[in-house]
Amino acid sequence: MLADDRPAAPRWFEAGRSRYQHEQSGLDHVRRLMPDREPYRAWATFSFPTPSGHLPECDLLMATPAGLFLVELKDLGEHVTNDGGRFVFRRSGAKRPRVLHNPLQVVDQKSKDLRAQLRRVASRERPGLRVPRVEPAIFLTTPGLRSELDDIHRVRVYGRDGESTGLDWIWRDLLGQVPDEQLVTEDFSAVLPELLRHLGIAAADAYRWFGDWELAPEPLDFGSTWEDRLATRNSGVREEGRLRVYLTAQQATGDARASVERLARREYELLRDITHRGIAQAVQFGHHRDNPAILFRHQTSDLRLDAYLALYGKSLTARQRREMVRQLAEAVRYAHSHSLCHRALAARSVFVSAKTDGTSPVLRIADWQTAFRGDDVSRLSSIGKSSVNGEHLADITDVYLAPEVDAPRADAVRLDVFGLGALAHLIITDEPPAERRSDLIDRLTAERGLRTSGPLGELIFKATRVDVAQRFDSVDSLLFEMDRVERNSIGDEDRDPVDPLTAVPGDRVDKWLVERVLGTGATARVLQVVREIVDDDRTRTERRVFKIALDEEKAVRLRAEARVLAQVGGGVVVRLLNGPRLVSGRTILELEHAGEESLAARLRTGGRLGRRELARFGGDLFSALDQLAARNVRHRDIKPDNLGVLQRADGARQLMLFDFSLADAGPGDIKVGTWGYRDPFLGTADRPLFDDHAELYSAAVTLHEMASGVRPLWGDGTDPRMTDDRLPTIATAEFDPSLAKRLAEFFNRALHRDVEQRFRDLAEIEEAWRTVFGPTRSRRRKPPARPRRVQTAIRTAARPIRSAVDRRRVWMLTALAVTGAVLAAALVADRPASTNQAAPGPTTSSTASSTPRAPTTSPSASGPRIPAATDLTLTFTVDDIAGYRIGDSMIGQSRQRVNVREVITDPESATASSLAAWVSLYQAGAVDPSRLRTGEAVSVAGRTGYYLPAVAEPGYYGANRVGKPTIAVEYANDSWYLVQSDDPLPKARETLLKVAAAVRLGVNRTMRFPVRFDYLPTGLRACGGADGLDPARVGVQPWEGSVELCDDTFGRYDNGSTETGVAIRIGMVADPSYPRPRGSDRIAGRVVDTWSQGATVDCVEFVLIVNVTPSHESRYPEAEIRKILESITVRGVQDRSAWFTGMETLPTIP
């Protein structure tokens, strides 16, 4: 029927001869053998569109009596073998073999897509027409080919007819077969050209260009929403790259296309400013066939990690494998320091560049399309975490992804930690964690993590623990474990000679022993080294930092950095001690040691800084900026990662500014620096160049992170320029409550979008920072006159300071005005404010302390109540718990409290720990039990307890009234103790049960203090205290103590949400670094500085601070404070047996 009226047509359709000789040779081989009769037809070198946006390129489609066949032609070498599912091609004269996954998988997908499209067209143009299956096949066209593919992987793979290749022949055994039942009829063959025309096939090379970059005919890799192609450009010099094309479906709506466009731009924006040898570098954004596309740096010889291991794994030493793991970890750590998490690390996400023999591998992480950028990685576990979108991933990545990857609030940092562990498993064992996702889940269920043997076995297990809370909490922790492994493996292999770029702990570099690998950045690798020096029969240890250029191009940057450090080094800026010089062919700078940890690491593990540390470290940062300003130098990358925390010889800690690799950047280069710290409002008509405001902006962001543990957030955390906000969101709720208002005012000005609204210069912002910690003046009356010495100090503090020595002197004077509330607040509530949502909780009563001593009142029926009186005696303890230690104990906020700390691994300190839980004991009637009894009943040491996932802590209200996981135990009639934790669930529940069972009642410990007050104004009573004598605390840190006094009026500051009701706070500090009074005023022979709200007294072995709450200034004026100080009796800090016990400290209180 159709055959009778169809026009004559050629049987071989080819737009033009292929530019690739091997491809054309293979096509000619088939064409010579194809008969010129129905139903034989062929289409060569064409592409066809798919609904997903893919444009698959096809070498040969043939219609034969045996069916439709889609044939892929390959000429990659004369010898082919397979390693599992990978084909390995070797060509004589080639420097390295070619490795690719079985290409049949790709052709099979093309075949399915082509048939689906033909069926779609047929249903419209030829209803009822049946389209047969399109069968995939591989034709290896190389003349003289020798195949050693195994029986499984030689299926559907063919060689040339007439040659002994070890494979079936393409024509005789496939295309030339004539079955008994013809699968492609003459009628179908005749209509097939029409179907293909309607489908829209085109010449294969029609879309092989991206600007002036030529694209490879076959995708390098692809997913359902993207494909990668190799790209080359010849403009005098041959350049190579990889083009990632994001595909938009043909039927996609405008919104869907816009979404894909945003996804692509997002990946480009994420990576554009990231410069690290271990992270794929994005160099250009554009469009390919109306689809958004990103061009990356890439070399044709680069191999995927699994392919590299298949080729060269057998020649790798254990040390080389560990170095590969370290490279990946350092790259991820660098990304995390730039607030970027990958979330889907897998073997296909890692490319390896190496020499032609496979040596010197450099690993590079790609595929950041599912990456997450938070306003701060340190709080990625608590903000804006969306699940990883599986449509952008391929199935073969599944065996490397954490089990919780699909959870809507999966911890992005720990997802990357798991991915690193899974990749380490591959690198160390040459085997993926599992063959399929289901197998991985089964293995993790059985092993609770990936278990392997060898030195890195424990590291891999800890990185891949099923229990997220037991996994490494950061890449820093993983690398710390790597350092330990390297030190313990020193005898395994011959380590001489050693390249400084691959040196690990235990190696020697130029007579120095490597202690730690501090990391690899954009220009250099950094080592901490040590050596012992003998001087006059005395051995001393000297530490330095070696900064090693990654290559000669980066060495230019190091030499520029050395010139800058020669000008500004010293004080709170690291000094250049030697260099630049060559060691084993590498350019090295020898720098002053800046401390055992960075400020960023300190903030990640400990959260926001305490008040005194915040004031001190802020002062250090301004001192560093002052040093730079004096030499007209800008750092250009101020952030916590570039500030070390150094413990000085006197025991005090200070910041040290380092990494001046960007200090020589030109003012027009406004993109250098780190996202999140870099001033986002540069590059406008008003501010086209880098300026001093931008340097101070970075410093202000760093100060904000020091004060809160997080960075300020503009808009939704993406590009601040895309918002209309004049100010970022300041993390006021995370600040020390006693400083929150003044810190918010400081940052609202320092971070303002409009530089005209910011501080004018360094002197003004530094003065404003000091004012944050200065005295709070009463708004009701003029403060009484200060002694002349104090007036002079304050006037001095008000003018610009240009000398670090002057700044220290003024700081010590003005710091005396720091409210004593800080010390007491730190002891009473020594954890950062939670970001959990507020939850209903029990209400407080006015009678909760060790022993009630006076009636209490509240300012209103619904308002907060004055803390109850106490005799400064604790009446319970917490017994020892394995893995934990008992921390500070205290009385305050109408309760007794004991902190419980989890012991953590820290070779530098046997007492390192983090707050795990706290126990608060309330007296009868102090807590409303109605809410508590609604919890899950649990047994606690023979008593009935109640577990609730979120209960507000009694005694706090307003911004601090937040829900905590809680176990409440009724220890006597209507008397309760609460065990609470900030740990995430489900870990918190386990911790609470352990701690609750260890609470022991009826164990009295009366507090002791080295001072007695023989005069206190009438009406005051003790309502809180902490003597710092807990066994776990003594000897670990400088001694601190406090006593809180209340009267019949609720003590208030300016912010009602942070009040505690205290009238006077008395603090005692034996920290040598704490500023001592320097005034000329003396009371009872002691040096004293006084102000309207209190005083500081030099008691020789400690500093005494008396601070009056602003609401009580008029009740306890300066004259009363002086009378109190005239009455004190002081004992030495060291002889604790002579201290005053309990209420002996306050003998005038009945």
3-state SS string for 953-986: CCCCCHHHCCEEEEEEEEEECCEEEEEECCCCCC
Query: Which range has highest mean pLDDT (799-803, 1062-1066, 1093-1097)?
Result: 1062-1066
Handedness of CA 376, 380, 386, 391 (dihedral sign): positive
Cβ within 8 Å of residue 616, ≥6 positions away: 652, 653, 654, 1073
Q: Which pLDDT belongs to residue 644?
A: 94
Residue 830: the pLDDT is 34
pLDDT of 815 reads 33
Cβ–Cβ under 8 Å, residues 636 and 695: yes
Domain ranges of the chain: 2-206, 208-300, 301-493, 500-592, 599-773, 822-1145
pLDDT, position 3: 39
Average per-residue pLDDT for the chain? 82
State residue 800 phi and psi, 5-degree precision: -55, 140
Mean pLDDT of 524-537: 85
Tokens standing for 594? Answer: 């800046």
Three-state DSSP at 1064 gives strand
Residue 263 has pLDDT above 60, yes or no: yes
420-452 core/surface letters (b: 16 or more CB in 10 A; e: else): bbbbbbbbbbeebbbeebeebeebbeeeebbeb
Element (H, E) at 936: strand 936-940
Per the document, the length of the chain is 1150
pLDDT at residue number 227:
85
pLDDT in tens, 966-984: 999 988 888 889 999 877 7
pLDDT reading at 930 higher than 60: yes
What is the reported pLDDT for 524?
A: 92
Distance CA 61, CA 201 (A): 12
Check residues 508 and 1091 and name the one with the higher pLDDT: 508
The pLDDT confidence band at residue 1033, using thresholds 50, 70 and 90, is low
53 or 64, higher pLDDT:
64
Pick the residue with more confidence: 539 or 854?
539
Q: Check residue 697 and give its pLDDT.
A: 97
Rounded to 5°, the CA angle 138-140-141 comes to 130
Q: For residues 304 and 369, which has the higher predicted lDDT (pLDDT)?
A: 304
CATH of domain 500-592: 3.30.200.20
Pairwise CA distance, residues 140 & 76, whole Å: 8
Rounded CA separation 766/807 (Å): 10
Average pLDDT over residues 238-267: 79
Which stretch of 45-49, 326-330, 418-422 has the lowest confidence by average pLDDT?
Answer: 45-49
Per residue in 190-214, pLDDT tens?
A: 999 999 999 988 876 656 788 888 8
Least confident window among 138-142, 508-512, 721-725, 1135-1139: 721-725
Q: In 10 A of CB 141, how many CB atoms? A: 24
Helix (H, G, I), strand (E, B) or coil at 1134: coil
Residue-level pLDDT at 834: 34
CA distance 528 to 645: 14
Over residues 863-867, the mean pLDDT reads 73
> With 90 as the cut, is the pLDDT of residue 693 above it?
yes
Residue 51: both structure tokens together: 């609904």
pLDDT greater than 70 at residue 793: no
Overall average pLDDT of the 912-934 stretch: 81
**Peptide bond just before 855 cis, omega within 30 deg:** no
Class of domain 599-773: mainly alpha
Helices (H), 126-278: 186-199, 254-272
* pLDDT at 102 (0 to 100): 86
Lowest mean pLDDT among 75-79, 808-812, 889-893, 914-918: 808-812
* pLDDT bucket at 821, cuts 50 / 70 / 90: very low
pLDDT at 705: 95
- pTM over 0.75, yes/no: no
* pLDDT value at 686 more than 50: yes
CA atoms of 423 and 417, how far apart (whole Å): 10
**CA–CA gap between residue 110 and residue 104 (Å, rounded):** 10
* Whole-number percent of the chain with pLDDT over 90: 46
Cα–Cα dist 903/319, whole Å: 32
Supply the pLDDT for residue 338: 83
Q: Tell me the pLDDT band of 1121, cut-offs 50, 70 and 90.
A: very high
832 prior amide bond cis, ω within 30? no
What is the pLDDT at residue 846? Answer: 31
More confidently predicted of 1092 and 303? 303
Domain 301-493 is in which class? mainly alpha
Residue 863 pLDDT level (bands cut at 50, 70, 90) = low
In this predicted structure, which of 319-323, 635-639, 1051-1055 has the lowest mean pLDDT?
1051-1055
CA 837-841-842 angle, to 5 degrees, is: 160
Average the pLDDT over 313-327 and give the result.
Answer: 93
- Average pLDDT rounded to a whole number, residues 1142-1150: 88
pLDDT value at 864 more than 50: yes
**Is the pLDDT at 1149 greater than 60, yes or no?**
yes
Write down the pLDDT at residue 208: 78
- Please give the torsion angle defined by the CA atoms of residues 6, 10, 12 and 17, in that order, rounded to the nearest 10 degrees: -140
Instruction: Cis check for the bond before 580: say yes or no (omega within 30 of 0).
Output: yes
Shortest CA distance to 726 belongs to which of 745, 751, 708? 751
Position 377 scores a pLDDT of 43
**At 823, is the pLDDT very low, low, confident or very high (cuts 50, 70, 90)?**
very low
Q: pLDDT > 70: what percent of the chain?
A: 84
* Predicted confidence (pLDDT) at residue 564 exceeds the cutoff of 80: yes
pLDDT of 220: 84
What is the pLDDT averaged over residues 257-267? 80
**Which of 352-361, 453-462, 571-580, 922-931 has the lowest average pLDDT?**
922-931
Decide if pLDDT at 9 tops 60.
Answer: no
Residue 534 has pLDDT above 90, yes or no: no
Least confident of 450-464, 488-502, 718-732, 989-1003: 488-502
Query: For 124-210, where are the E strands, in sequence order?
Result: 134-140, 146-147, 157-159, 168-169, 202-203, 209-210
Q: Which of 379-383, 1013-1017, 1063-1067, 1112-1116 has the lowest mean pLDDT?
A: 379-383
Overall average pLDDT of the 251-256 stretch? 66
Residue 777 CA, chain-centre distance (Å), reads 41
Q: Is 841 helix (H, G, I), strand (E, B) or coil?
A: coil
User: Has residue 30 got a pLDDT over 50?
Assistant: yes
Confirm whether 208-300 and 599-773 share one CATH topology: no
Flag the least confident range among 431-435, 650-654, 759-763: 650-654
Query: At 744, is the pLDDT very low, low, confident or very high (cuts 50, 70, 90)?
Result: very high
Q: Is 547 assigned to a binding site? A: yes
The number of angstroms, rounded, from the C-alpha of 690 to the middle of its chain's C-alpha atoms is 27
| Residue 129: pLDDT band with limits 50, 70, 90 | very high
pLDDT over 50 (residue 804): no
Of 107-121, 493-507, 1085-1099, 1117-1131, which range is least confident?
A: 493-507
* CA–CA gap between residue 180 and residue 875 (Å, rounded): 96
Residue with tokens 């991915």: 419
The fold for domain 208-300 equals Phosphorylase Kinase; domain 1 (3.30.200)
